Chain A
């Protein structure tokens, strides 16, 4: 009995650019696993895909925008949030989703992350945290846990790591959560919830990078990393984010930590400008080419 006999298809496929599969990702890379949760969340929430844009920076995680069959914006390294902000301001009717890596969003682009949270910009940010700059060869990032090994920290990182959920919480994000690539069902539900909410929403997804992070730190292969997440994770919804720091081998606190109401940037702007505010006139649809797909 073949699948063509049964006329079945994987519902995720309609959201993927089939001509770009197989992906460049290494075997067991957690990025692809997170894409399943994301695609199912979009489908279950019945999101208008014609009004949904996905924005990525550069990195293995940044490739997600290129694989999704949505309006995709593959931007420069660290600048996914500024591009997304511009897009949201010019086209407020769009659902703008940023999908990128820890190096991109929190290291080179860390300042944008803080200020988008402060402004409560109405975008959803999915940050794939593999605790390393993976695409360029495994250099330490701001998220590399203190004492971990990487290409640039052969004696172990001397710097402590940033706790991203605490950072964006303090800056004013209205929805903050963390899961791992192991938590496919929970991640999907949290994404669904976040897709329904307005304001700056941040979801951190801890994800195995067997090629660099796991290998450099003798943590085994991708499957072992997933089993390690399963073993070490503790679900604590509503946990104060200052109690969620990640350590190389301690517990991993996961869950939905922050869900608060706060006026988003556009609402405040409209309110303050009152009658002086006007939306951009509707733009005529223009054909835009696929653009350059090279990595830099």
Chain B
């Protein structure tokens, strides 16, 4: 059970790659798929390594991704509405 996960709003992504580069545990990669604007949004390639630290969210200039922690039962923890 990973400690965290990310939420991605693919349509906002402009494919800069900041989230991929600065994720400390290398969870992400830009996918080969396109969004409507023609950019390649990120996807998780190693979800089990995600700590929910939200560094990807801090770096994303387009508010297209953010990370959050999961409780042991898989529910979200914090960052809830």
Contact = CB atoms under 8 A, between A and B. Distances in A.
A147 interface: no
Contacts of A32: 60-63
B80 interface: yes
B47 to A, nearest CB: 10
Contacts of B81: 7-9
Nearest to B21: A223
B66 A10 contact: yes
Interface residues of B, number: 27
Given A27-B14, A28-B61, 17 more contacts: A3-B7, A6-B80, A7-B80, A9-B80, A12-B57, A12-B63, A22-B62, A27-B15, A28-B18, A33-B58, A36-B57, A36-B58, A36-B59, A222-B18, A223-B18, A226-B22, A227-B21
Interface string A1-32: 10100111111110010000111011111111
A185 interface: yes
Interface string B16-58: 1110011000000000000000010000000000000001011
B68 A13 contact: no
Contacts of A221: 16
A25 B61 CA distance: 9
Nearest to B20: A223
A184 B58 contact: yes
Given A7-B81, A9-B79, A28-B14, A184 B61 contact: no
Nearest to B16: A28
A48 B60 CA distance: 25
B12 interface: yes
B59 A13 contact: no
Interface of A: 1, 3, 6-13, 16, 21-23, 25-33, 35-37, 40, 184-185, 188, 221-223, 226-227
Contacts of A7: 76, 80-81
Nearest to B66: A10
A37 B58 contact: yes
Contacts of A31: 61
A28 B62 CA distance: 8
Contacts of B63: 10, 12-13, 16, 21, 32, 36
A43 B15 CA distance: 27
B18 A8 contact: no
A10 B75 CA distance: 16
A258 to B, nearest CB: 26
A35 B59 CA distance: 10
Nearest to B17: A223
Given A8-B81, A10-B66, A226 B75 contact: no
Contact of A27 (B7, B16, B22, B76): B16
A36 B18 CA distance: 13
